[in-house]
Amino acid sequence: MQFPFALAIIEDQATIRETLHEYLCAQPEFRCVLVAGSIEAFLELLPTAAVPPQLILSDIGLPGLTGTQGLPFILTRLPQAQVLMLSVYADAGRVFEALRAGAVGYLLKNTPLAQLKEHLLHAAAGGSPMSPGVAHYVVQAFAQMPATAPLNSGIALADLLPAEPLTNREREIVRGIEGGLSYKLIADRYCISIETVRNHIRAVYRKLQVNSKAELMAHALKRQRR
Amino acid sequence: MQFPFALAIIEDQATIRETLHEYLCAQPEFRCVLVAGSIEAFLELLPTAAVPPQLILSDIGLPGLTGTQGLPFILTRLPQAQVLMLSVYADAGRVFEALRAGAVGYLLKNTPLAQLKEHLLHAAAGGSPMSPGVAHYVVQAFAQMPATAPLNSGIALADLLPAEPLTNREREIVRGIEGGLSYKLIADRYCISIETVRNHIRAVYRKLQVNSKAELMAHALKRQRR
DNA sequence: TGAAAAACAACATGTTTATGCCATACCCCC
DNA sequence: GGGGGTATGGCATAAACATGTTGTTTTTCA
């Protein structure tokens, strides 16, 4: 993620929307790429955005699809987006629904603009900003939760090993893999036998220390994210 | 609650303990009523405190009882206290344990003193301060909680929108795939059978109109390129 | 209360991958 | 002229994946 963060705002009340827009876009950290009055409008305008938004600030009480109802649609289109919900309500039900639907944070509308900015930056940094009372609900709910299995993810492997360089042919074939092609299609594309593809892949796996197509692509994904 | 807040500090490392003590007690908002190097010492000294502490800042990595293990004892004696855990570790397991044991917040030891003070005030006000990454774990766990709301019950809007939204579970599993995991590993991570993983993947393929892991990942790669 | 959606699970069948081990051919270069 | 690296091709086997069908259970909602 790099400066300025591509930001989208979804809010139906024109005055609030304008206030948010004006304030946030005046900040050097943000770039407003999309401002909409409803989830439907947002999804419709999405293809026209110059840059896909990384940060989305969405009201919950929207006409049509509510912010929470719209979240799955947004996340399907922008899986990497951090969505912050904005609401006048601080009730546990709404908070839980929103977080379960995939929001990373939940802010109240009485949040001062300066703090809102801080929260947005916080979210961009991988945090989960919540207004005071809201965080409390979440922690409370936690205390009552049954013991769960740890669901970890942050795997940071030492891929800084001496990288054995791929040959040109190998890189071509890796591009094919990353394009989602099967061995057969790669073989066709380069007019070679599928056995040859296999052998190149084999060499690539050894050099990159992976042992499946999925790992190879996960590699590419990780590289891309910085 | 009124000023100044009665504060207790539990930390075994003398230098850190003194730093916290000196800084926080120099603040007009706090009054240090108890400083201890272990849970045991804290409980022993508790009767001697002039005022029962309302706010407790406790290390997790303590000799003897750990901070988390000691929490139930503390809360039995001081049911109204707000306990903030302090730790060098940001792993999900420790965070969950501490919150389930009744901590109201979880801070990392690299938190600047000024922020620490803010967090303490925040906790006193009924909030649940958490360091950035930590809050994220909690929200993640929420999104992955058992029994998810449908949230998108057969909305007729579906044919207007290009993308049929993925459910939370489906997105989780897609994250697994994009992380390079095999079905087996995904099944293990979420404690479900490999057949169930297959079924979710099947639904994802239908919704995203792909028909192989490679295409799915190629999709992710394309989205990521901007 | 009953239909719908979501998560979970099993079994079957065919395809694609991963990886072993092997061989030929070209090129460069010491 | 032989040794290393690269590209090509083949065969065999085991594992992983894709896909069809069919269930149960729980939660949600009209």
Cβ contact B99–A152 (<8 Å)? no
Q: State pLDDT tens for residues A50-94.
A: 888 999 999 988 888 888 888 888 887 887 788 999 988 887 778
The answer to whether B3 faces chain A, any CB pair under 8 Å, is: no
B200 found inside a domain: yes
B178-191 per-position pLDDT tens digit: 888 999 988 988 88
Q: Out of A65, A133, A148, whose CB is closest to B141?
A: A148
pLDDT of amino acid B151: 30
Q: Which helix (H) or strand (E) holds A130?
A: none
Contact yes or no for B140/B50 (Cβ under 8 A): no
Question: With 50 as the cut, is the pLDDT of residue B159 above it?
Answer: no
Residue A63: give its domain's CATH number: 3.40.50.2300
Interface check for A48 against chain B (CB to CB < 8 A): the answer is no
Distance CA A84, CA A221 (A): 24
Percent of chain A with pLDDT strictly greater than 70: 86
Nearest Cα residue in chain A from B131:
A127
- Do A52 and B223 make contact, defined as CB atoms within 8 angstroms? yes
How do residues A84-137 score in pLDDT, each as one tens digit? 999 888 877 788 888 878 888 889 998 899 989 988 988 888 778 888 777 877
Q: Are residues A174 and A132 in the same domain?
A: no
Shared-domain flag, residues B128 and B161: no
- B164 with B133, same domain: the answer is no
For the stretch B79-115, pLDDT in tens is: 778 899 998 887 777 887 788 778 888 898 988 898 8
Which residues have Cβ atoms closer than 7 angstroms to strand D? Answer: A 167-170, 190, 192-196, 198-200, 212, 214; B 147, 149-151, 153, 182-184, 198-199, 201-202, 205, 211-214
Percent of chain B with pLDDT over 90: 26
Give the separation between CA A159 and CA A219, rounded to whole angstroms: 9
| CATH classification at residue B205 | 1.10.10.10
How many independent structural domains does chain A possess? 2
Where among B141, B168, B196 does a domain terminate?
B141
**Residues B68, B165 within the same domain:** no
Alpha-carbon gap, residue A94 to A91, rounded angstroms: 6
Whether residue B65 has pLDDT greater than 80: yes
Per the structure block, which two tokens stand in for B184? Answer: 């087996």
Could you tell me if A209 and A118 lie in one domain? no
Secondary structure class of A65 (helix, strand, coil): coil
Average pLDDT over residues B153-174: 58
Give the model's pLDDT for residue B149: 31
Give A224 to chain B, closest Cα distance, Å: 7
Going by the DSSP 8-state scheme, the letter that residue A179 receives in this structure is T
Residue A30 lies inside a defined structural domain of this protein: yes
Q: Residue A189: inside a domain, yes or no?
A: yes
Is the model's pLDDT at A147 over the cut of 60? no
Range of the domain at A71: 5-143
**Residues B78 and B188 both lie in one domain:** no
pTM (2 decimals)?
Answer: 0.68
Residue of A190, A70, A55, A42 whose CA lies nearest to A124 = A55
pLDDT at position A143 over 70: no
Helix (H) / strand (E) containing A55: strand A55-59
Judgement on whether residues B21 and B117 belong to the same structural domain of the protein: yes
> In the predicted model, what is the mean pLDDT of residues B197-224?
86
Task: List all residues of chain A from 16 to 35 with a beta carbon under 8 Å from chain B.
Answer: none
Confidence at residue A28, expressed as pLDDT on a 0 to 100 scale: 92
- D strand bases under 7 Å from protein CB: 6-12, 16-22, 26-30
| A179: Cβ contacts below 8 Å, ≥ 6 apart | B218
Examine the domain organization and report whether B110 and B200 are in the same domain.
no
Q: What is the model's pLDDT at position A226?
A: 52
Q: Considering only residues 70 to 129 of chain A, which have any Cβ-Cβ distance to chain B shorter than 8 Å?
A: 71-73, 75-80, 96-97, 99-105, 122, 125-129
Contact B155 A65 (CB under 8 A): yes
My answer on whether B19 and B102 are in the same domain is yes
Quick check: is B19 in a domain?
A: yes
Tell me if B55 sits within 8 A of B81, measured CB to CB. yes
- In this prediction, residue A36 has a pLDDT band, given cuts at 50, 70 and 90, of very high
CA-to-C1' span, A67 to D21 (A): 37
Are B115 and B213 found together in one domain?
no
If we measure between CA atoms, which residue out of A49, A39, A107, A38 comes closest to residue A72? A39
Confidence class of residue B167 from pLDDT cuts 50, 70 and 90? confident
Q: For residue range A171-206, what is the model confidence (pLDDT) as tens digits?
A: 888 888 888 899 999 898 888 889 999 998 998 888
Q: Whose C1' is closest to the CA of B146: which nucleotide? A: C7
Does A149 reside within a domain?
no
Mean of the per-residue pLDDT values of chain A: 82
Q: Give me the pLDDT at residue B146, please.
A: 43
pLDDT bin (cut points 50, 70, 90) of residue A214 is very high
Give me chain B's average pLDDT, please. 81
Residue range B51-64: mean pLDDT, rounded = 90
Q: What are phi and psi of A124, to 5 degrees?
A: -60, -30
Question: Which H, E and C letters describe chain B, residue by residue?
Answer: CCCCEEEEEECCCHHHHHHHHHHHHCCCCEEEEEEECCHHHHHHHHHHCCCCCCEEEEECCCCCCCHHHHHHHHHHHCCCCEEEEEECCCCHHHHHHHHHCCCCEEEECCCCHHHHHHHHHHHHCCCCCECHHHHHHHHHHHHCCCCCCCCCCCCHHHHCCCCCCCCHHHHHHHHHHHCCCCHHHHHHHHCCCHHHHHHHHHHHHHHHCCCCHHHHHHHHHHHHCC
pLDDT score at A56: 93
State the pLDDT at residue A12.
92
Which tops the pLDDT comparison, B162 or A5? Answer: A5
Give B11 or B157, the one with higher predicted confidence: B11
Give contacts of A62 with chain B, Cβ < 8 Å: none
Residue that terminates a domain, selected from B106, B141, B176: B141
Residue A73 to residue B218, Cβ atoms within 8 A = no
pLDDT tens per residue across span B111-134:
889 888 988 988 888 778 888 777
Query: Do both B107 and B201 map to the same domain?
Result: no
Mean pLDDT of B41-58: 89
Task: Judge whether B215 lies within some domain.
Answer: yes
Q: For residues A84 and A184, state if they share a domain.
A: no
Sequence letter at residue A16 = I
